[in-house]
Amino acid sequence: MKPNLSVSIAGVDFANPIMTASGCCGYGEELAVIFPLSKLGALVTKSITLKPRLGHPSPRTAETSSGMLNAIGLANVGIDKFVTDKIPFLEKQKTKIIVNVAGSKLAEYIEVCARLNDFERVDMIELNISCPNVDEGGMEFGADPKMTEKSISEVKKVFSRPVIAKLSPNVTSIVEIAKAAEQGGADAFSVINSLVGTAIDIETWQTKITNNKGGLTGPAIKPVALQMVNAVYSKCSLPIIGIGGIQSAADVIEFLLCGATAVQVGTALFIQPDLPVTIEKELKAYMKRKKLNSIDELIGKVRKY
Ligand code: SIN
């Protein structure tokens, strides 16, 4: 019996549970040179905003112990260029397309999502209410339950397909924010965005990135992400896409056991861009070895003391 890797989230069917994380492969063009994007469950784009953004000046990334700090500042082409230059490429890809949307004001999120509604191949929106690297919007929305609920409910009025709330770990209670997103009509959660941190060069005494602080990603944050996925899974009923330091099929399995239905691979793509292909093979082999027919048999099945 061949294990079935397909999963379904809010009525959208994915060939497998492996997605790319926003910001780690732009709009997919470079990744498609390395492997056919049909190998992915979904491609998640860099955050799209109403106007183009250059982001913060370099250096805007720094390597840390088992992780990476970034403060890109939501650099992206903006919705106009995304529609004219990027969507035609994305529409041809035989994978699901999830567009990550960010903004500094609610009206911006709404306008971008309304524009995306016209493109049927945009299967889902992932609402970035958790970017730690901008002064306005981002985490400011996702740290406040009322703003979280409102942003989701307003976006749901203009975008007719499922909306994923990408949650920040930089809050007192991620479950409280998840519940607010659920109340606002979210269809799924992405758990988690990056953890705020910094790094300093001891020779120059200078912070290593121009924004002085940034989001920590990579294997260093995996235990935090797993715990948060499980906390949200235990208290909420929406499907979860787990994110945080995934480097192997073993990491994916941990996220599934904690309650994720799918996962996103991010920072590790900078080391091994075709990692999703390897993970898919390893996941299949694990399922065969464990005599599992479907991913559902793993979701939320963690055994606790
Ligand atoms: C950035 O563009 O600074 C990162 C985006 C994010 O973490 O949401």
pLDDT digits (tens, 9 = 90+) for 227-250: 999 999 999 999 999 999 999 999
Q: Whose CA is nearest to atom 5 of ligand 1?
A: 131
Ligand 1 centroid – CA 74 distance (Å): 5
SS3 17: coil
Q: Whose CA is nearest to atom 2 of ligand 1?
A: 74
Which segments in the chain show pLDDT lower than 70? Answer: none
Of all atoms in ligand 1, which is nearest to the CA of residue 73?
A: 3
In tens, the pLDDT along 76-116 reads 999 999 999 999 999 999 999 999 999 999 999 999 999 99
Q: Could you tell me if 210 and 59 are in contact, meaning their C-beta atoms sit under 8 angstroms apart? A: yes
Q: What is the pLDDT of residue 214?
A: 97
Phi, psi of 175 (to 5 degrees): -65, -40
Q: What is the pLDDT of residue 132?
A: 86
Phi, psi of 34 (to 5 degrees): -90, -40
Q: What is the pLDDT of residue 216?
A: 98
Q: Give the per-residue SS3 of 197-213.
A: ECCEECCCCEECCCCCC
Which residues are within 8 A (CB) of 253 and not within 5 positions of it... i.e. 6 or more apart? 283, 286, 298
- Residues in contact with ligand 1 by the CB-under-6-Å rule are 23, 47, 70-74, 128, 130-131, 133, 193-194, 215
Q: What is the pLDDT of residue 116?
A: 98
The reply to whether omega before 36 is within 30° of 0 (cis) is no
The reply to whether omega before 79 is within 30° of 0 (cis) is no
Q: Could you tell me if 50 and 73 are in contact, meaning their C-beta atoms sit under 8 angstroms apart? A: no
CA 273/CA 43 separation, integer angstroms: 13
**Which tokens is 175 given?**
């479950």
Q: Whose CA is nearest to atom 8 of ligand 1?
A: 131
Domains of the chain: 7-52+75-195+217-297 (3.20.20.70)
Apex 152 CA angle, 94 and 112, nearest 5: 60
pTM, to two decimals? 0.98
Nearest alpha-carbon partner for 5 in 265, 263, 269, 301: 263
